[in-house]
Amino acid sequence: MRLTQKKIEEIMISVVGEEGLPLVKELGAKDNISEFDLADKVKKDIKIVRKMLYLLYNHNLVSFTRKKDKQKGWYIYYWTLLPDSIRFSYIKKKKELLERLKKRLDEETQEIFFVCTNNCVRLNFDQGMDFEFRCPECGELISQDENKKTTEHLKKKTEEIEKEIGQLIQQRTERRKKVNEKKTEVETKKRASKKNKPKAVKNKVPKKNKVVKQKTKKLTIKKSTVKKKTVKSKKSKK
């Protein structure tokens, strides 16, 4: 998924606040950056920087490794952004927003609302009835709200977000598929060839296979001369 730099920053700032923007930018520029370098670059006290880093860490947006400083005897922490977690967090937030919008849209399309001509309040039917269709603030009669604009806006927003989430999830699926394909590729290579192998792999694997077999033969011969039982138990395992 191509999460833009801006979106990544948006997510991280929702955790550390606007003042964390310089730190977020530095984290985005380099992996495994030491907290002292970070503090230098954003010109902030190391304590403030650490606090922000731990906040991000608690939200699973960054990870760290630590190394002992041999001269000073303390640990230095090196921080790295976690793009997968940031993506996950982003999709989660969008889904929550979508739920809220859908709920609002439901309310808007199912309920009738009343507004005061002086714009003091906006009430649903039950609330309006409670106040005998007069504004509880100024006493003016309230009238039915034309909520077409609101519902249209909500609909548009909802569709936009649904589309975005769909794209993000599709991209995630594709990315995972690629990772899995790589994994299976490595595993099949390891496992030596049986059937249905791609040609490129076929050429390589049989050689390996021969070598392995030869080795096991030699071993078996050696062992069989020493102890017959060991060979038996080994064979039965296979």
Q: Which residues bind Zn ion (CB under 5 A)?
A: 116, 118, 120, 135, 137-138, 140
Q: Which is nearer to Zn ion, 101 or 123 (CB)?
A: 123
> At its nearest, how many Å lie between Zn ion and the CB of residue 122?
10
- How far is CA 90 from each of CA 3, 5, 29, 101, 195, rounded to the nearest angstrom? 9, 12, 20, 17, 42
- The number of C-alpha atoms within 13 Å of 210 and in the hemisphere containing its C-beta is 6
Structure tokens at 184: 């299976």
Q: Which is nearer to Zn ion, 88 or 133 (CB)?
A: 133
Q: Which is nearer to Zn ion, 99 or 137 (CB)?
A: 137
The CA–CA distances, whole Å, from 68 to 34, 72, 74, 152 equal 12, 8, 6, 59
Q: How far is the CB of 117 from Zn ion (least distance, A)?
A: 7
As measured in angstroms, the least distance from the Cβ of 120 to Zn ion is 3
CB of 143 to Zn ion, least distance (A): 11
Task: Compare residues 111 and 140 and give the one whose CB is closer to Zn ion.
Answer: 140
- Contact between 158 and 102 (Cβ < 8 Å): yes
CB of 15 within 8 A of CB of 85?
no
Smallest distance from Zn ion to CB 150, Å: 19
**SS3 of residue 113 by DSSP:** strand
Is the CB of 140 or the CB of 174 nearer to Zn ion?
A: 140
